[in-house]
Amino acid sequence: MRTFALVQVSALVAAILVSAVPSPYPNSPFRHRSLAKKGHVPRQSTPKYVVAHHMVGNTYPYTVTDWANDIALASASGLDGFALNVGSDVWQSARVADAYQAAANSGTGFKLFLSFDMSSLPCSSPDDAQALRNYITSYATNPNQLTINGQVFASTFSGETCTFGQGSVPQGWSSQFTSQLTGQNSVMFVPSFFVDPSTFSQYDGVMDGYFNWNGGWPIELTTNSVQSTLGSAAPALGGLGTFSSAVEQTLNQSTGIFSTDAPYLNGLNSISSSSKTYIAAVSPWFFTHYGPNTYNKNWIYLADFHLYPTRWDSLIENRDSVDVVEVLTWNDYGESHYVGPIEGAQPNSQAWVNGFNHTGWLDMTSYYASAYKTGAYPNIAKDKLYMWARPHPKDANSGDSVPKPTNYELDQDTLWVVVMATAPGTVTLSTSNSNSQTFPVDAGVTKLSIPLTPGGYMHGVLERNGGTTIDLQPADYTFNPNPLSYNYNAYVAYASSG
């Protein structure tokens, strides 16, 4: 489970909301531009990796076969490996062993590495560091362990307060972890410490790079920050199913952008490691809904405006600066940003997860992963249609004992659509019998959207040359104006031709 640290939020809000170059609201088709731009040539020689963050804490009932199924699906979807998020449960080491065994059995070369969840693992004594080192030495020579430049790759979630009994955080990590791992156990340590990147020099000799976890979402956008920035141009966002052009522009121009990565990349200049690694995050969604009597987490991050493919486009365009892309996540059900199947053991998130399959986003991943790794968007061999939306109006009321999530006002009641077309055609989107729009689409990727209708549905039809190529209308989706509980998760539907 996660508690997010918001680093330099006020500065990022000012930089993004004030100085960002406006981009058009994507209600009209968006098509990929060439990767080539002045002064930028996509680099082909440096290996690129795409991995997914896998929560071992949600795999209690897993067997080697379950891991094998995940690895096969991930590999077929363009992923090169899993970052294994390891927490403090004593049984998790056995699940990690099963994962490495399944990877070896797969014969795919699928890679794994440890991502220590320091929001869960203890880190106040040297013995706590020994437990981390044991994980590294156990798998250092495993053929499916990810290594970069001959070093064992390892990461974290958090860890910026860990001293391991030493005088400071840098001393703790250096003397008790990185410096004690030598020879074949030498580690390339790329943590996600939630610290100001201008302080990275304090971690010189500890970090070999940085994992920008929070870069997966526009976390700087809050209801208050948007209203403060726009002033009189933005009425109260609550009660508005769709927004004015001024609000849309502010939200859209801040979604999926790469400028939020810049402070962390600049911070790495103060690290003397000869081989610095930058991990950028990409994520399709964020909603968590725990009350004070459980984990006390109840908020959203804005994920509208086609966040997932838009962030991918930004990372592809800036691939020279990114060594690894980490998809957040494979199976973090509690925060609704899973792209893998719903399986294993949920962290009491069934109320907003069950029935909300996200594997459409996983299917979409292979296209963008290929573009990131090769520097060129691949040809589209099969028509595909992806649609996603929340299950009820953002302002709907229910008898839920847990209130609406913080920042829910930023959401719009919108059906978001991505079309991958092999040739030109038309797409008709409908959310009720009286609300329908038809869009021309070219060969390639087009992003579309249409307002949702309370009590309505989602329906998309791709037509070409007088015939229907795809007709997608999930029977189990209704935009319910009277929900029994609050659910700001996404329902994802997809279909392909043939």
Per-residue pLDDT, 230:
78
Cα–Cα distance for residue pair 242/221, rounded to 1 Å:
17
Domain boundary among 356, 378, 400: 378
Q: Which residues contact 65 (CB under 8 A, 6 or more apart)?
A: 102
Kindly state whether residue 102 falls inside one of the protein's structural domains.
yes
Q: At what angle do helices 223-230 and 245-252 cross, to 10 degrees?
A: 120
Shared domain check, 399 and 317: no
Shared domain check, 416 and 461: yes
Look at the chain and count its residues.
Answer: 498
Integer Rg of the chain from CA: 22
CA distances from 55 to 86, 102, 334, 476 (A): 7, 16, 11, 28
The CATH number of residue 133's host domain is 3.20.20.80
Domain boundary among 335, 350, 378: 378
Shared domain check, 374 and 391: no
DSSP code string of 170-204: HHHHHHHTGGG--GGG-EEEE----S-GGGGGGGB
Kindly state whether residue 23 falls inside one of the protein's structural domains.
no
Per-residue pLDDT, 31:
37
Cα–Cα distance for residue pair 171/160, rounded to 1 Å:
12
Instruction: Pick out the chain residues at pLDDT < 50.
Output: 1-44
Kindly state whether residue 427 falls inside one of the protein's structural domains.
yes
Contact 212/282 with Cβ under 8 angstroms? no
Shared domain check, 316 and 273: yes
What are 35's two structure tokens?
Answer: 């990767």
Per-residue pLDDT, 228:
84
Shared domain check, 332 and 424: no
Kindly state whether residue 99 falls inside one of the protein's structural domains.
yes
Kindly state whether residue 1 falls inside one of the protein's structural domains.
no
Kindly state whether residue 26 falls inside one of the protein's structural domains.
no
Shared domain check, 398 and 335: no
pLDDT tens readout for residues 370-400? 999 999 999 999 999 999 999 999 999 999 9
Shared domain check, 169 and 202: yes
Contact 445/419 with Cβ under 8 angstroms? yes
Per-residue pLDDT, 235:
61
Domain count across the chain: 2
CA distances from 228 to 18, 69, 402 (A): 11, 48, 27
What are 394's two structure tokens?
Answer: 């953002």
The CATH number of residue 407's host domain is 2.60.40
Domain of 454 in residue numbering reads as 387-496
Shared domain check, 281 and 190: yes
Shared domain check, 73 and 193: yes
Per-residue pLDDT, 250:
82
Cα–Cα distance for residue pair 3/12, rounded to 1 Å:
20
Contact 355/476 with Cβ under 8 angstroms? yes
Contact 157/117 with Cβ under 8 angstroms? yes
Shared domain check, 64 and 182: yes
Shared domain check, 450 and 345: no
Per-residue pLDDT, 252:
87
Return the SS3 of 112: strand
Domain boundary among 324, 348, 378: 378
Per-residue pLDDT, 231:
75
Cα–Cα distance for residue pair 469/420, rounded to 1 Å:
12
What are 284's two structure tokens?
Answer: 């399709």
Kindly state whether residue 274 falls inside one of the protein's structural domains.
yes
Shared domain check, 130 and 168: yes
Kindly state whether residue 158 falls inside one of the protein's structural domains.
yes
Contact 460/428 with Cβ under 8 angstroms? yes
